[in-house]
Amino acid sequence: MNKMVGIKFKPAGKVYNFDSGAFVLNGGDHVIVETEQGLGFGYVAVIPSIYDEKSFDKPLKKVFRLASEEDFEQRERNLDFEKQAFDYCIKSIESLEFKMSLFSVETTFDESKLIFFFTAEGRVDFRKLVKMLSKKFHVKISMRQVGIRNQAKMCGGLGRCGREICCSAFMDKFVPVSIRMAKEQSLSLNPTKISGQCGRLMCCLTFENDTYMQLRKKFPAIGKKVITPDGKGKVIRHNVICDRLTVRIDKDNIIEYALKDIKEE
């Protein structure tokens, strides 16, 4: 009987599936797993469950062992190594006058490779930088240019709602967000109010968009003439969550009604 466990390597990262083998694992347990780049240090994000091997194109990699005290010490050394690499890379970028913004550095568990994450407006020829880094640290160097949303996801932070930003807290991938979603939800179209830390439209606009679109189908369109208990008027605003809409009766009278009290002409 094979069991599959979901492992995360960092809080904002993706959940990867592994074969838990004979290990008894609980949520939050730290483990060493086999990855394509060697051994990796992660924690249990999804507890083990039975799975069918035939549902995957290739066999799942296995959990190698439970993390030991030595593994935690190695993880601390990794963090120190990443900080040294980050500081040196920043100085090197400044000396080369490259137009790029480094924001994160990661190393493999065995410290055989360093991965540098950065953003830039265009393409950057970083070959000189890679040579400097290789000469300094004597490991394999990988430079990865990512988008501004990925930067926000990796760096984390608090949103205007006061909670941890969604992409960093639980989102595995980004979905398209459009200004039309803000219009459907009758939100302010002020960019500063509907943009996240990344400067792009907030991902949370997508969460309730389908619900708003379904609720709005039963409402008369904005600008449509309707019959109210106070006479004929024109719809000027919707409140789909409360099942109410606002109607202009005449120049001086604007009244909000329950949807059930309105009839279309």
Q: In the listed set 42, 67, 92, which residue is the last one of a domain according to the structure?
A: 67
Residue 177 domain-assigned?
Answer: yes
Residue 1 has pLDDT above 70, yes or no: no
pLDDT, one tens digit per residue, over 34-64 is: 888 778 899 998 888 888 877 777 888 889 9
Do 91 and 63 belong together in one domain?
Answer: no
Residue 155 domain-assigned?
Answer: yes
d(CA 245, CA 263): 12
Residue 114 has pLDDT above 90, yes or no: yes
Token couple for 234? 């024109």
Do 135 and 174 belong together in one domain?
Answer: no
Half-sphere CA count of 161, side-chain side, radius 13 A? 11
The values of phi and psi at residue 242, to 5°, are -95, 5
Number of structural domains (the chain) is: 4
| Interstrand relation of 16-19 and 3-8 (parallel, antiparallel or unpaired) | antiparallel
Q: In the listed set 48, 67, 86, which residue is the last one of a domain according to the structure?
A: 67
pLDDT, one tens digit per residue, over 230-265 is: 888 899 888 888 889 899 988 788 989 998 888 887
Angle at 202 between CA 197 and CA 205, to 5 degrees: 165
Do 169 and 135 belong together in one domain?
Answer: no
Q: Can you count the helices (H) and strands (E) in the chain? A: 7, 13
Do 139 and 158 belong together in one domain?
Answer: no
Other Cβ atoms within 10 Å of 111 Cβ, number: 14
Higher pLDDT, 142 or 262: 142
pLDDT, one tens digit per residue, over 65-110 is: 999 999 999 999 999 999 999 999 999 999 999 999 999 999 988 8
Do 98 and 140 belong together in one domain?
Answer: yes
Please give the residue range of the domain that contains residue 23. Answer: 3-67
Sheet holding 101-107, edge to edge: 101-107, 113-119, 140-145
pLDDT, one tens digit per residue, over 115-137 is: 999 999 888 899 999 999 999 99
Residue 128 domain-assigned?
Answer: yes
**pLDDT at site 119:** 93
**pLDDT at site 263:** 85
Residue 82 domain-assigned?
Answer: yes
d(CA 216, CA 222): 11
Q: In the listed set 211, 235, 252, which residue is the last one of a domain according to the structure?
A: 211
Residue 187 has pLDDT above 90, yes or no: no
Confidence of residue 161 (pLDDT cuts 50, 70, 90): confident
Do 78 and 114 belong together in one domain?
Answer: yes
Token couple for 45? 């994000």
Residue 256 domain-assigned?
Answer: yes
Q: Which of 147, 190, 144 is nearest to 167 (CA)?
A: 147
Burial class (CB in 10 A: 0-12, 13-18, 19+), 19: buried
